[in-house]
Amino acid sequence: MLYENGKPFHDYVDADKGLVDRVIFSDQAIYELELERIFARAWNFMCHESQIPKAGDFFLSFIGEESVIATRDKKGELQVLLNSCRHRGNAVCRAEEGNARSFLCTYHGWTYGLDGQLIGVPGYKDFYHEQLDKSQWGLVKAKVASYKGFVFATMDPEAVDLDEYLGPVGRMSIDLLAAQGPLKMVAGVQKNIIGCNWKLAVDNLFDYYHVGISHASAFMSNFRARDPEAPPAPPRFSFGKHRVWLGDYGHAIGGPRIPTDEMANIIAHDNPNLDETWRHRDDARAILGDQAIESVGHPNIFPNLWVTEANQISLRLPKGPTGCEIWWFTLVPEGLDEKQHEEAIRGANHQFGPSGFLEQDDGENWDQSTRQTMGVVARRYPLNFSMNLKHGEVITPADGGAPYVDTAINEHAQLWTYRAWADWMDAESWAALKASRTPVPSDRL
Ligand code: FES
Ligand code: FE
């Protein structure tokens, strides 16, 4: 059945039984509404502040399918500008990153300052008779804010502020990286397109069920090895011990946990291929608290930012209902020597991205999963997200930390993402979303 205008999106996600309608993964009308109700409304990740440290530095990113320029103006303030001239709409910036004094439109020459103001119009006096009000024709500006160097932007003036948007689970997602110490972004972003719906790529980041099957050959090849002579790193996770946080507005962290005493064993082995020593530092525990310090799971900041614990972050950018552009950013600790720096980048390249062992396996599955949502017969049958459903008890920590669930392998974070997706899709405005969103569960998952 195709999307019917007016049917509530919560009808496509059965949170009680753990079922999701396949139509949401390939329907054009649903996709177009996602661009409007999710991407044009949410706080979208732009870049890391270390990518645009100086006035005039810029980095081209996306809000949904729309090109935006993340830049730093003359006062050093972060700006995010829609990359579309107000005259005939031409893109005013074509380079993916760089440094500029202003943005000159190559069509007729309107020129915009780093803060988006229209500062130059050829023929302003003779052809426009000085009657064009330049103050009204600047580039469209997003609201911008950053958390620990991670820059986000929203095109919706009604959006809650970034701190409220991230909430404890969104902040914890970034803290899991920030707690490792000062980091800087490696130059260049790896980009590739996979023929899948963007939500299936997000869904997979919480998925540990597939690891032993999809990635069997990658693990046999010891792909993570920085030192091939060292014994294989000890296994970091089991199916039996998982920890999940569900956050307001759709953020979630899901995946394995390693209790502190087991982590001490891993660290004691001093394996060069698995450096977890940061987890024993007091400052890291102070930032993360007693629960998150044990998490080796994966966070998603809704809608599409995956923060891996392994110094890589990824955007799943929508490119039509059956296309997704994957971006991989690599962060490295500050102060590495040249060899360590090289090893960190090689490790990241071997893991995710176009040359990564893991995403080669994953992409093929997501492409096929997407194709199989298009069949008129296949669409009659929902997808199943019932693993360990209703077997998890929510624990609310006494210290006021975010509620979580300790359980075995599960699909709670995936199902939560789809529930939140339905909240966003059913709400006609930020005010409606605030009023009607599903509360973070406080009893059972
Ligand atoms: Fe930009 Fe005409 S389109 S100046
Ligand atoms: Fe995978």
pLDDT digits (tens, 9 = 90+) for 345-373: 888 888 888 888 888 899 999 999 999 99
pLDDT confidence of residue 4:
74
pLDDT tens per residue across span 131-143 = 999 999 999 999 9
Same structural domain, 86 and 197:
no
Q: Which atom from ligand 1 is nearest to the alpha carbon of 85?
A: 1
Residue at a domain's end among 113, 147, 181 = 147
pLDDT tens per residue across span 252-309 = 999 999 998 888 888 877 666 667 888 999 999 999 999 999 999 999 999 999 999 7
- Cβ–ligand 1 contact at 109 (below 6 Å): yes
295 with 176: CB under 8 angstroms? yes
Same structural domain, 116 and 253:
no
The domain that contains 353 carries what CATH number? Answer: 3.90.380.10
Question: Any residues with CB less than 8 A from the CB of 293 and at least 6 apart, and which?
Answer: 179, 260, 279, 284, 285
Q: Looking at the domain assignment, is residue 1 inside a domain?
A: no
User: What is the CB neighbour count within 10 angstroms for residue 106?
Assistant: 12
pLDDT beyond 70 at 325:
yes
Same structural domain, 223 and 136:
no
SS3 label, residue 188:
coil
Question: How many angstroms separate the Cα of 435 from the Cα of each of 63, 167, 409?
Answer: 24, 16, 32
Same structural domain, 267 and 332:
yes
Q: Which atom from ligand 1 is nearest to the alpha carbon of 86?
A: 1
**Phi and psi (nearest 5°) for 98?**
160, -155
pLDDT beyond 70 at 129:
yes
pLDDT confidence of residue 276:
84
The per-residue DSSP string of 202-231 comes to: HHHHT--SSHHHHTHHHHHTTTT-SSTTSP
pLDDT beyond 60 at 2:
no
Q: Looking at the domain assignment, is residue 60 inside a domain?
A: yes
- Cβ–ligand 1 contact at 139 (below 6 Å): no
Question: Any residues with CB less than 8 A from the CB of 270 and at least 6 apart, and which?
Answer: none
HSE-CB of 100 using CA atoms within 13 angstroms: 23
Q: Ligand 1: distance of its center to the CA of 143 in Å?
A: 24
- Nearest to 255, CA basis, from 218, 215, 296: 296
What ligand has the least distance to the C-alpha of 211? 2
- Cβ–ligand 1 contact at 110 (below 6 Å): yes
The residue whose CA is least distant from atom 4 of ligand 1 is 108
pLDDT beyond 50 at 1:
no
Q: Which atom from ligand 1 is nearest to the alpha carbon of 92?
A: 1
Same structural domain, 237 and 342:
yes
The residue whose CA is least distant from atom 3 of ligand 1 is 88
Determine the structural domain holding residue 235 and report its residue range: 167-436
Q: Are strands 143-147 and 298-301 parallel, antiparallel or unpaired?
A: unpaired
Residue to substitute in 81, 82, 83, 88 for testing ligand 1 pocket (most ligand atoms within 8 angstroms of CB): 88
- Cβ–ligand 1 contact at 365 (below 6 Å): no
Q: Looking at the domain assignment, is residue 245 inside a domain?
A: yes
Q: Ligand 1: distance of its center to the CA of 114 in Å?
A: 17
Give the whole-angstrom CA distance, residue 301 versus residue 324.
Answer: 17
Number of domains in the chain: 2
Same structural domain, 198 and 341:
yes
Q: Ligand 1: distance of its center to the CA of 65 in Å?
A: 21
The pTM of the full predicted model, rounded to 2 decimals, is 0.96
297 with 280: CB under 8 angstroms? no
The residue whose CA is least distant from atom 2 of ligand 1 is 108
Q: Ligand 1: distance of its center to the CA of 78 in Å?
A: 24
Same structural domain, 415 and 298:
yes
Q: Looking at the domain assignment, is residue 31 inside a domain?
A: no
pLDDT confidence of residue 234:
64
Same structural domain, 133 and 234:
no
- Cβ–ligand 1 contact at 25 (below 6 Å): no
Residue to substitute in 94, 108, 124 for testing ligand 1 pocket (most ligand atoms within 8 angstroms of CB): 108
The average pLDDT across 235-250 equals 91
pLDDT confidence of residue 223:
77
Same structural domain, 189 and 92:
no
The domain that contains 81 carries what CATH number? Answer: 2.102.10.10
Q: Looking at the domain assignment, is residue 162 inside a domain?
A: no
Same structural domain, 191 and 319:
yes
The average pLDDT across 211-218 equals 91
Same structural domain, 71 and 210:
no
Amino acid identity at 35 = L
- Cβ–ligand 1 contact at 151 (below 6 Å): no
176 with 280: CB under 8 angstroms? no
pLDDT confidence of residue 272:
62
345 with 330: CB under 8 angstroms? yes
Give the whole-angstrom CA distance, residue 191 versus residue 328.
Answer: 6
**Phi and psi (nearest 5°) for 442?**
-120, 0
pLDDT beyond 80 at 228:
no
Q: Looking at the domain assignment, is residue 131 inside a domain?
A: yes
Same structural domain, 214 and 305:
yes
